[in-house]
Amino acid sequence: MRLLRTFALLAAALTGVFAGMPASAAPFEIAIMPSRFELAAKSGARLGQTLDIHNVGTTVTEVSVRTLDWSYSPEGEISYLDALQPGSCRPWVLLERKTVKVPARGKAGFRFQIEPPADAPRGECRFMLAIEGVEPAYRAAVGQGGASLSLPVTGRIAVAVYVLVNGAEPRLALSQAGMRELHGRRTPYVTVSNTGDAHGRLDGSLDATDAAGKRFEMVPEGTPVMPGQTRLIALQPKASADGQAPAPVYPLKASGTLDWEKGGFKVNAEFR
């Protein structure tokens, strides 16, 4: 399995915030390691893992942990689903407890287990571990017509867990390269299909030269291609040591190899 990123995003993942935080609001200054799990298991065998919950704040923080189903669209939109979905593997998951107190400037380990049943078929078990603040991190006030409503808003970090059961694996194919509008900007992309029974990702880089003669690397976005999906994966200029990414002048030519879990794709393309 590919080396995981060492730290999850420091959580400020709040929804529905319309007003500032009052002095009494509980902070949610939590970070998670690792940011995702990519595991392998066999039917009838139990698999145990540990998640580290780091509190970078100055007060003790209590968090809850639960599982969620989720979906990821070909357009790159993620949906979190509380209700148990058809075919969900969440019943295979055992959490050691429902809440965890994390000391100030400290960390707490959290254990969970996945046990595919003896008759589990080959495939990929996917779920999210949702780490959420027990106390509201912010309290949003909504006012209309002289009335006001105070709404608690809770911080959350969702950690994806992928379990390849009985040898499940991706099978990626790259079919074409082109340009498309992305966030209002013309962006190079490659089309990737996955006919396997587990998710896959592109890695690697391409050596690019733009119309102004500037040389730089192009890297694929690291989002997953789910089984049965065909996705347009954006290629972005790689940031330099100072954190700045070059702004290409099109057209540009790019060549090199884009890697995936089981191989690689040679690319030699011009993007206009």
pLDDT, one tens digit per residue, over 179-203 is: 999 888 899 999 999 999 999 999 9
pLDDT of 46 above 90 = yes
Residue 188 has a CB neighbour count (10 Å cut-off) of 26
Confidence of residue 240 (pLDDT cuts 50, 70, 90): confident
Banded model confidence at residue 28, pLDDT cuts 50, 70, 90:
confident
CATH class of 172-271: mainly beta
Among 22-31, 32-41, 176-185, 250-259, the minimum mean pLDDT is found in 22-31
* Residue pair 31/11 in contact by the 8 Å Cβ criterion: yes
DSSP bridge pairs for 17: none
Please choose, from the candidates 213, 193, 210, the residue with its C-alpha nearest in 3D space to the C-alpha of residue 202: 193
- In whole angstroms, give the CA distance from residue 179 to residue 184: 12
pLDDT the model gives residue 183: 85
CA distances from residue 96 to 66, 111, 112 in whole angstroms, order as listed? 10, 6, 6
pLDDT of residue 15: 33
Tell which residue, 80, 72, 28, has the closest CA to residue 53.
28
pLDDT band at 11 (very low <50, low <70, confident <90, very high): very low
pLDDT for the residue 16: 33
Query: What is the SS3 assignment for 91?
Result: helix
Strands across the sheet with 107-114, in order? 30-33, 47-55, 107-114, 93-95
Tell me if 122 sits within 8 A of 165, measured CB to CB.
Answer: yes
Q: Which of 44-58, 72-86, 124-138, 184-198 has the lowest mean pLDDT?
A: 124-138
Closest CA to 268 of 212, 218, 227, 222: 218
What's residue 26's pLDDT? Answer: 60
**DSSP letter, residue 87:** T
Residue 22, pLDDT > 60, answer no
Structure tokens given for 111: 């254990």
- Between CA 72 and CA 166, with CA 263 as vertex, the angle to 5 degrees is 60
Q: What would the pLDDT profile of 89-125 be if each residue is shown by its tens digit?
A: 999 999 999 999 999 999 999 999 999 999 999 999 9
Mean pLDDT of the chain: 88
CATH of domain 30-165: 2.60.40.10
The residue behind tokens 């490659």 is 190
Rounded mean pLDDT of 203-214? 97
Q: What is the rounded CA–CA span in Å between residue 77 and residue 138? A: 26
Residue intervals in the chain for CATH 2.60.40.10:
30-165
Tens of pLDDT along 241-263? 888 899 999 999 999 999 999 99
